[in-house]
Amino acid sequence: MNALVEEFQVIDTDTHIIEPPDLWTSRVSVKKWGDLVPHVKWDDEAEEEAWYFGSDRIGAVAGGAMAGWHEYPPHHPRTLDDVDPALWKADARLKRMDEYGIYAQILYPNVGGFGAGRYLGMRDPELMIQCVQAYNDWISDWSSADPKRLIPQMALPFWDLDLSIEEMTRCAKNGHRGIVFGSEPEYFGQPRLSDPHWDPLWAAAQDMGLPINFHIASGDMSLFEAMHPGAGAHASYASMGVVFFMGNARAISHIICSGICHRFPKLNFVSVESGVGWLPYALAALDWQWKNCGVPKEHPEYKLLPSEYFKRQIYGCFWFERETVAPTIDIIGPDNIMYESDFPHPTSMSPGPATTAIKPSDYINEVFSDLPRDTIEKILHGNAARIYNLG
């Protein structure tokens, strides 16, 4: 193990657990709801295990279980039995974290969507909230293997503000340290992110000290089919990933320009799995547009520039960048940047036969070694410890 990960307790700010097949069937009444409860069965056509909500296929059970896999995406394992246990078992995950030089992981979902939007497809409000609560209880139980190192983020029944605030309160008591929220709620028939409709939720999150996490790919997923089929499956997958990475520019622009950051100055927002190299340009463009479009005249109550709102309460995470890291730190400073690995997804820093990734500990040593010690501490540990209230 190299010196940097031994010196700093590295907090990995974007990881996922591959959900076990019985997550919902063991917690939600199958006797009452039947196959409407999320369940796994064999897909004969695709020749793989898949998740279903009723008769609707949601996705492959092991579609995101790519760490160490021998095929390039979008090819993936066919069953959960084919994958590394560290992808879905807590004891094995902790051992892998030790191997990678990771002290703690911020944990995100897969099946319900990165903004919980897939639950709306169930169409029954009672079943929807039960499934959200079942997921939140499961990840809380899973994280109890080591609550200091496994940090759950809650899903919300965002289609109902009262229920969302109740669930926030309940989950915060159960150890959840943040909220997974979609950046495109209008895609699911809800008000836009910039709508004041969400102000009660922002206010409650601010009062509870819960950061809002905008994970990429939390809304419109049509990018999976954006390229012409003739481009090839692997080239299309590569293009899709990059477009999703940069999609959070929209979320950042909307929460600043709609006044959300102004109205809720102590609420933190995290742009997850989106990288940081593009942030200096995005902030420069926002400042330019802000001034040239007359925002200060339209909203004299806004006392800061977009870049200043960002520095006060918005964070970006990166995992594979090299040449763009130091210039980004020079321009926006180290206080709004955090490290992630995206374990065990296709782009993750997980060595294997079908990836160029190296172990996080080796990557950290190569990319961070020339940076000042206080900068390293903030990016690898301090910033995440502060906003997720990890002590």
- The confidence score (pLDDT) of residue 224 equals 86
Mean pLDDT of the chain: 96
Segment holding 269, helix H or strand E = strand 269-272
Write out the DSSP string of 17-44.
Answer: ----TTTTTTTS-HHHHGGGS-EEEEET
Q: What is the pLDDT of residues 141-181, one digit of tens each?
A: 999 999 999 999 999 999 999 999 999 999 999 999 999 99
Q: Whose structure tokens read 């990771």?
A: 102
pTM of the predicted model as reported, rounded to 2 decimal places: 0.97
- The confidence score (pLDDT) of residue 10 equals 98
The answer to whether residues 58 and 152 touch, using CB atoms and an 8 Å cutoff, is: no
Q: How far apart are CA 18 and CA 110, in angstroms?
A: 7
Give 2's pLDDT tier (boundaries 50, 70, 90). confident
The answer to whether residues 244 and 216 touch, using CB atoms and an 8 Å cutoff, is: yes
The DSSP symbol for 210 reads: P
The answer to whether residues 220 and 114 touch, using CB atoms and an 8 Å cutoff, is: no
- The confidence score (pLDDT) of residue 264 equals 98
pLDDT at residue 244 greater than cutoff 70: yes
Q: What is the sign of the dihedral through the CA atoms of 326, 328, 333 and 336?
A: negative
Amino acid at site 48: E
> What's the mean pLDDT in 305-312?
98
Please list the alpha-helical segments (H only) found in 144-187.
161-173
Look up residue 145 and give its two tokens.
């293997």
The C-alpha angle 52, 58, 59, rounded to 5 degrees, equals 110
- The confidence score (pLDDT) of residue 223 equals 82
pLDDT at residue 1 greater than cutoff 90: no
Q: What is the pLDDT of residues 355-384, one digit of tens each?
A: 999 999 999 999 999 999 999 999 999 999
Q: What is the pLDDT of residues 201-242, one digit of tens each?
A: 999 999 999 999 999 999 988 888 899 999 999 999 999 999
Please list the alpha-helical segments (H only) found in 144-232.
161-173, 199-208
Domain ranges of the chain: 3-21+66-387
Q: What is the pLDDT of residues 51-89, one digit of tens each?
A: 999 999 999 999 999 999 999 999 999 999 999 999 999
> What's the mean pLDDT in 111-115?
94
Q: How far apart are CA 202 and CA 225, in angstroms?
A: 33
Write phi, then psi, for 248 (nearest 5 degrees). Answer: -75, -5
When the candidates are 3.30.2010.10, 3.20.20.140, 3.30.2130.30, 1.10.580.10, the CATH number that belongs to 3-21+66-387 is 3.20.20.140
> What's the mean pLDDT in 87-99?
98
The answer to whether residues 333 and 370 touch, using CB atoms and an 8 Å cutoff, is: no
Q: What is the pLDDT of residues 35-44, one digit of tens each?
A: 999 999 999 9
